[in-house]
């Protein structure tokens, strides 16, 4: 992965955005309820499926280049105030680095919030890549978080 200063990207994003009161509390209650009422794997699968469904409701236009794909994804993410993504490609993989994701309201259930968002984004990004000509057998998975707290998803055959 390239050397980047994701903190600067996140700070600029947060300076330009304002959170609508209430929506994060509602989503946090839903996330907590889903993850508390199902076993861990079932809850994550359900949220990934919700991400797939959300991607189908908000399809990406066809993208001819990686830069265009990044712009198209960020355009849709901006509608939700859900941060920004940077795409980083090598010959072996495509990394999607999600920066400035929505934080949990008042710091409640931070770990559940992160798990829920990661699961939702896995479904969202996987469905969008599939719609751009990706292969269903190539998985998209969250792999890590950067020191700047960006989520790193990898689209790579053989994960």
The single residue listed with the structure tokens 């600067």 is 8
Task: Tell me if 156 sits within 8 A of 96, measured CB to CB.
Answer: no
Spatial distance between the Cα atoms of 35 and 121, rounded to a whole number of angstroms: 16
Contacts of 159 (CB under 8 A, 6+ apart): 139, 141
Under CATH, which number does the domain 6-155 receive? 3.30.70.2590
pLDDT at 21 (0 to 100): 62
Secondary structure class of 36 (helix, strand, coil): helix
Global pTM reads 0.85
Give me the tens of pLDDT residue by residue for the chain, a chain 159 residues long.
Answer: 444 677 777 667 655 665 666 677 777 788 888 887 878 889 999 999 999 999 999 999 999 999 999 999 999 999 988 999 999 999 999 999 999 988 777 666 788 888 999 999 999 999 999 999 999 999 999 998 888 889 999 999 875
- Quote the strand ranges of the chain, DSSP E: 84-89, 94-99, 140-145, 151-155
pLDDT at 150 (0 to 100): 93
Q: Give the domain ranges of the chain.
A: 6-155
pLDDT at 76 (0 to 100): 96
Spatial distance between the Cα atoms of 124 and 140, rounded to a whole number of angstroms: 10
CA contacts within 13 A on the Cβ side of 56? 7
Rounded to 5°, the CA angle 118-119-123 comes to 115
């Amino acid at each position: 992965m390239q050397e980047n200063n994701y903190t600067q990207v996140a700070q600029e994003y947060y300076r330009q955005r304002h959170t609508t009161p209430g929506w994060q509390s509602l989503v946090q209650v839903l996330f907590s309820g889903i993850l508390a009422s199902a076993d861990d794997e079932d809850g994550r699968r359900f949220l990934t499926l919700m991400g797939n469904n959300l991607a189908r409701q908000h399809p990406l236009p066809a993208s001819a280049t990686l830069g265009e794909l990044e712009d198209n994804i960020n355009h849709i993410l901006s509608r939700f105030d859900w941060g920004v993504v940077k795409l980083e490609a090598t010959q072996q993989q495509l990394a999607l680095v999600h920066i400035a994701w929505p934080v949990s309201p008042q710091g409640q259930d931070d770990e559940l919030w992160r798990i829920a968002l990661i699961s939702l984004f896995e479904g969202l990004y996987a469905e969008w890549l599939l719609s751009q000509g990706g292969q269903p057998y190539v998985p998209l998975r969250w792999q890590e978080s950067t020191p700047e707290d960006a989520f790193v998803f990898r689209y790579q055959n053989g994960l």
